Amino acid sequence: MRLPSPERAILHLDLDTFFVSVERLHDSRLQGKPIMIGGKGDRGVVASCSYEARSFGVHSGMPMRLARRLCPQALLISGDMESYSKYSHLVTDIIAGSAPLFEKASIDEFYLDLSGMDRFFGTLKWATELRQKIISESGLPISFGLSAAKMVSKVATGEAKPNGQLHIPFGHETKFLDPLPIRKIPMIGKKTGQLLCNMGVDRVKMLRQIPLELLERLLGKAGVLLWKRARGIDSSPVIPYFEAKSISTERTFEQDTIDVQRLQSTLIGMTEKTAFRLREQKKLTACISVKIRYSNFDTFSRQIKIPYTANDNILIRHALDLFKQLYDRRLLVRLVGLRFSHLVHGHYQIDLFDDRCEEIRLYQAMDQMRRKYGKTMVMRAVAIDSDKQRKALNSSEKTSSCIP
């Protein structure tokens, strides 16, 4: 067992209600209003919600149908992952330009190892200045917790929200944790929490008083880890951040479908958007995977290695080939997914045997329009669902540009 070290300083940064905060940057009228972001259909779930919506019992991961019943006055927003990714990269770049070592735990959550920095200047002062820099350059609220252990810092961040900061000095871990509800400890889920509550354990201090042998007998190895966490013991390291080696996306249909044309058009649209992301990141892929989940939740996937490329036509052709190999059961489909892996940095090179100069110039023009007007402004007509096409024909609203 390794106790927290006075030499260690772990900073946990978390962007507050990240998706909601980004939406409010784009539209100030959303300030102070209950907001829920996620799928609007019956199968949708809440991806993020504002503090105003949380006061009604809404939380992330909740079925949207239940969330709407709890907070019917909330504004529903589908969300824009392109915009969220943009701001996540912005904050990541700010941290990367300042921190000696950091780990990106999720799109809106970071760990920084500041150990040893007290020799030059206070870690709390440095962390405060970094937080203010992120707020001023991104416009987003962010909270942090600082302590000698990863887990304690994460819990401290939760207590510092919204838009605050909290420092737990070395030696004060148990004093900070003791009065908190046990569900504040990471890894205590609904089932474990109910088991402990049935034992009369609802606060961390009470959990800390349970003998190690009893917790191990009740929960096995998880009980040993829980015993340590109740004491603020966590020696897990900050894992240096590396760029993802793959890009993936998937689509869950509101109603299971057997419409092959719709399935293929959806896959083509997903391939187009993901290929655009490749080119924006100046990357090429050498492996493409397609996934299908049927209505009975049976899930199958298949992949193929290809020459490095970011060309829509090549990727779409392989994606459709994989789909045809997979979809052989003629059952209702619940979900389709796409993944590009074996990524490398590089610019797309013209294939002298397959590509025409006109095609390359067309892709460059399309990408330029997507960067200026949005990634859905230019797309193949075949990638638009048939029901959307009918609505577009019957509407006088502005529609996306298409190519045959």
Q: Can you give the CATH number for the domain in which 257 is found?
A: 3.30.1490.100
- Closest by CA to 83, choosing from 50, 113, 108, is 108
Residue partners of 118: CB distance under 8 A and separation at least 6: 9
Q: What is the pLDDT of residues 172-185, one digit of tens each?
A: 999 999 999 999 99
Beta-strand relationship, 10-15 and 142-147: antiparallel
What pLDDT does residue 19 have? 93
Which amino acid is located at 20 in the chain? Answer: V
Q: Which domain holds residue 393?
A: 246-403
Q: What are 401's strand-pairing partners?
A: 378
Terminal-residue alpha carbon distance, the chain:
64
Q: What is the mean pLDDT of the chain?
A: 84
Say if 63 falls within a structural domain. Answer: no
What would the two tokens of residue 157 be? 């961040």
> End of a domain among 202, 229, 256?
229
pLDDT at 203: 94
Per-residue model confidence (pLDDT) at position 369: 64
Percent of the chain with pLDDT over 70: 82
SS3 144: strand
> Does residue 241 carry a pLDDT above 90?
no
Question: Looking at the structure, do residues 166 and 295 belong to the same domain, yes or no?
Answer: no
Are 202 and 289 contained in the same domain? no
Q: Flag whether 265 is in a domain.
A: yes
Q: What is the three-class DSSP state of 360?
A: helix
Confirm whether 292 is domain-assigned: yes
Residues 256 and 323 reside in one and the same domain? yes
Say if 91 falls within a structural domain.
yes
Among 152, 107, 102, residue whose Cα is nearest residue 130: 102
Based on the fold, state whether residues 222 and 344 are members of the same structural domain: no
Who contacts 398 (Cβ-Cβ below 8 Å, separation ≥6)? none
Residue 257 and residue 289 in one domain: yes
pLDDT digits (tens, 9 = 90+) for 331-382: 899 999 999 998 877 654 444 334 444 555 566 666 666 666 665 555 555 5
Do 156 and 275 share a domain, yes or no? no
Annotated catalytic, 109?
yes
Structural domain contains residue 28: no
136 within domain boundaries:
yes
24-38, 77-91, 355-369: least confidently modelled range: 355-369
- Quick one: pLDDT at residue 227? 93
The first and second tokens of residue 192, run together, are: 């474990």
Residues 225 and 255 placed together within one structural domain of the fold: no
**288-311 residue pLDDT tens:** 999 999 988 899 999 999 888 888
* Residue 49 resides in a domain: no
Query: pLDDT at position 278, please?
Result: 87
The confidence band for 390, taking pLDDT boundaries of 50, 70 and 90, is: very low
- Tell me: do 251 and 387 sit in the same domain: yes
Q: How sure is the predictor about 93, in pLDDT bands with cuts at 50, 70 and 90?
A: very high
Domain boundary among 203, 229, 255: 229
Per DSSP bridges, beta strands 109-113 and 102-106 are antiparallel
**Which among 7, 52, 82, 109 is annotated as catalytic?**
109
- 385 and 276 co-located in one domain: yes
* pLDDT tops 50 at residue 404: no
Residues 374 and 399 occupy one common structural domain: yes
Give the torsion through C-alpha atoms of 266, 271, 276, 277, to 10 deg: 100
Residue labelled with tokens 């209950």:
34
255 and 345 assigned to the same domain: yes
Better-predicted residue by pLDDT, 191 or 58: 58
The count of domains in the chain is 2
Question: Of 204, 229, 254, which one is at a domain's C-terminal end?
Answer: 229
Q: Tell me if 265 sits within 8 A of 385, measured CB to CB.
A: yes
Read off the amino acid at residue 129.
Answer: E
Which residue has better confidence, 313 or 135?
135
Within 8 A by CB and 6+ apart from 89, the residues are none
Question: What mean pLDDT do residues 307-324 have?
Answer: 91
The Cα–Cα gap between 148 and 308 comes to: 44
Residue 386 lies in a domain: yes
Domain identity same for 110 and 201:
yes
Distance in angstroms (rounded) separating the CA atoms of residues 361 and 382: 21
Bridge-partner residues for 103, per DSSP? 111
Residue matched to tokens 């020799």: 119
Planar angle of CA 260, 261, 266, nearest 5 degrees: 100
What is the CATH classification number for the domain harbouring 111?
Answer: 3.30.70.270
Confidence of residue 149 (pLDDT cuts 50, 70, 90): very high
